[in-house]
């Protein structure tokens, strides 16, 4: 990053969750919602109304060229794919609405998922619009302001001891016991989740007419990352694109198994030591000691000749502010980890003039 912008080094407020506009969404789709929530109506009619909600509210997010960041970093043709335009402010809405519709189709009356915030509010919104009961499992040591949003959407919250991985296990076990729809990553819905996130790839293709040289994303469990890669692989197999983009992963410094495995050249993702992972308000959306879809993400990095990089809290705060002040987008600091991995590599090994896409996964209020 160029010198002469010392104001970017000043501290500023942090957020531990994205922001959304679900109250307005409820008003905008009220007619369709009345149909989807009416279990006396034919299922086909309810599904059609719900599909209308998805088409009008989810995806087709903003895509802009970041000329000011290009000038700051010296890398030309950087495009920002801003997932903060989704109803609850993150890319999680893509998979949450897909799964709620699948639960409707298969006549489940309850859907459950474990969360540290963003996925929970996305699934709660999707379920509320589908007229399905929603049970959200939250680790006992997590405190996110999104809990209030989850409750306001009518979802039930179950606090469980331990960490996120333990909450996923508890949620999945209860789903199996009660015959609920299990919306957690790593289960039988993995293929559907990858397809849902692959929609990001199709929208990038629609904007550029081809695949970019690289696509950079923040990673946690690796599901979004693997889904974007899968989407481009589908486009490339069908001759829609002339190439596969290099997949670039960024995450919190030494706190993610995917980035750790990529940097250490390990054959597969290995669990980290939970006690060595320190959560902060900045890194919370990224950290994992076990990446549920980590091997899928690691495979995506290697098969596309991509790379991975660590991002410090300081740099994530810095780039979040840079994006806000230079490009007018309010993003969660954690959302910038992919951009950081892209730029830091460019500093060491200058990238050729081409087109580069950064997916920003969360909106800051």
Q: What confidence tier does 279 reach under pLDDT thresholds 50, 70, 90? A: confident
Q: What is the pLDDT of residue 187?
A: 86
What pLDDT does 1 receive?
38
Q: What is the pLDDT of residue 3?
A: 37
Separation between Cα atoms, residue 281 and residue 279, nearest integer Å: 7
Query: Distance between CA 228 and CA 215 in Å, rounded?
Result: 9
Q: How far is CA 85 from CA 57, 94, 165, 329, 360, in A?
A: 9, 11, 28, 10, 10
Instruction: Give the integer Cα–Cα distance in Å for 184 and 205.
Output: 28
Q: What share of the chain is helix, strand, coil (3-state, %, to 5)?
A: 50, 15, 35
- The span from the CA of 86 to the CA of 170, in Å, is 28
Task: Compute the distance between CA of residue 324 and CA of residue 139 in angstroms, rounded to an integer.
Answer: 31
Alpha carbon distance 29, 50 (integer Å): 9
Q: How many CB atoms lie within 10 A of CB 230?
A: 18
User: Confidence band (pLDDT; 50, 70, 90) for 26?
Assistant: low
CA 80 to chain centre: 14
Average pLDDT over residues 315-332: 96
Q: What is the pLDDT of residue 315?
A: 97
Q: Write down the pLDDT at residue 142.
A: 73
pLDDT of residue 147: 85
Angstrom distances, CA of residue 280 to CA of 72, 215, 250, 253, 286: 27, 26, 17, 12, 10
What is this structure's pTM?
A: 0.90
Query: What is the spatial distance between Cα 121 and Cα 90, in angstroms, rounded to a whole number?
Result: 10
Question: Is residue 24 scored above 70 in pLDDT?
Answer: no
157 burial (CB, 10 Å; 0-12 / 13-18 / 19+) is middle
Our measurement of the distance from residue 14's CA atom to the centroid of its chain's CA atoms, rounded to an integer in Å, reads: 19
Confidence of residue 8 (pLDDT cuts 50, 70, 90): very low
For residues 248 and 218, the answer to whether their CB atoms sit within 8 Å is no
Asked if 182 contacts 171 with a C-beta cutoff of 8 angstroms, the reply is yes
* b (16+ CB within 10 A) / e for 67-78: eebbebbebebb
């Amino acid at each position: 990053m160029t010198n002469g912008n010392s104001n970017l080094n000043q501290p500023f407020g942090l957020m531990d969750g994205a922001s959304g506009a679900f109250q307005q969404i409820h008003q905008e789709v009220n007619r369709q919602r009345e149909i989807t929530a009416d279990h006396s109506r034919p299922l086909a009619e309810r599904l059609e109304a719900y599909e209308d909600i998805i088409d009008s509210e989810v995806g087709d997010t903003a895509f802009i060229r970041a000329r000011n960041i290009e000038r700051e970093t010296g890398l030309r043709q950087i495009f920002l794919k801003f997932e903060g335009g989704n109803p609850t402010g993150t890319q999680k809405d893509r998979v949450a609405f897909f799964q709620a519709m699948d639960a409707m189709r298969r006549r489940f009356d309850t859907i459950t998922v474990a969360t540290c915030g963003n996925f929970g509010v996305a699934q709660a919104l999707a379920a509320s619009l589908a007229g399905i009961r929603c049970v959200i499992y939250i680790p006992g040591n997590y405190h996110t302001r999104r809990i209030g949003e989850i409750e306001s959407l009518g979802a039930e919250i179950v606090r469980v001891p331990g960490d996120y991985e333990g909450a996923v296990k508890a949620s999945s076990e209860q789903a199996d016991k009660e015959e609920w729809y299990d919306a957690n990553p790593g289960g039988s819905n993995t293929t559907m989740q990858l397809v849902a996130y692959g929609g990001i790839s199709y929208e990038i293709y629609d904007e550029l007419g081809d695949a970019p040289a690289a696509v950079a994303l923040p990673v946690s469990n690796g599901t979004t990352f693997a889904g974007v890669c899968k989407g481009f692989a589908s486009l490339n197999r069908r001759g829609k694109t002339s190439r596969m983009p290099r997949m670039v992963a960024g995450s919190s410094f030494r706190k993610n198994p995917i980035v750790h495995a990529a940097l250490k050249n390990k054959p597969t993702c290995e669990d980290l030591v939970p006690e060595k992972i320190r959560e902060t308000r900045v890194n919370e959306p990224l950290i994992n000691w076990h990446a549920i879809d980590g091997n899928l993400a690691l495979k995506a990095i290697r098969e596309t000749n991509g790379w991975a990089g660590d991002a410090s809290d300081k740099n994530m705060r810095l780039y979040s502010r840079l994006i806000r002040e230079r490009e007018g987008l309010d993003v969660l600091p954690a959302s910038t980890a992919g951009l950081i991995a892209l730029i830091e590599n460019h500093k060491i090994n200058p990238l050729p003039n081409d087109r580069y896409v950064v997916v920003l996964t969360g909106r800051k209020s």
